Amino acid sequence: MKATAGEIAKNFGQYADRALVEPVTITKYGREHLVLLSADEYARLKRRDRQVYRAGEVPADILAAIEATEPPPEAEAVERDLANPSR
């Protein structure tokens, strides 16, 4: 749902209630400016933030998960192409 900044100012309660169901995009001068969303949705998005580590500082549980992964079947074709570049 989209609404202008003026509409939001005049009817904040209505749009705040709507933001509990879906994000409300607030426009200013015809351009998307802000998004109003529920606290639950904000928390969900924050949990998805990426963590960055230096190679030697990766926590043991994350390193174990990486080491346990297997390449997908389509990776075999890439390996063959890399092994035989004259193809």
pTM score: 0.55
Residue 82 inside a domain? The answer is no
Inform me whether the pLDDT recorded for 5 exceeds 60: yes
* CATH classification of the domain holding 65: 3.40.1620.10
Question: Is 84 among the domain residues?
Answer: no
Q: Is 28 within the bounds of a domain?
A: yes
C-alpha–C-alpha distance, residues 65 and 80, integer Å: 26
Q: How many domains does the chain have?
A: 1
Residues of the domain holding 35: 2-76
Contact 34, 52 (CB under 8 A): no
Q: Give the DSSP letter of residue 23.
A: -
- Count of all residues that appear for the chain in the document: 87
Tell whether the model's pLDDT for residue 60 goes beyond 80.
yes
Q: DSSP H helical segments within 1-87, as ranges?
A: 5-10, 12-19, 39-47, 60-67, 75-83
Residue 85 lies in a domain: no
Indicate whether 83 belongs to any domain: no
Residue 79: band (very low, low, confident or very high) from pLDDT cuts 50, 70, 90? confident
Confidence band of 87 (pLDDT split at 50, 70, 90) = low
Q: How far apart are alpha carbons 21 and 41 in whole angstroms?
A: 10
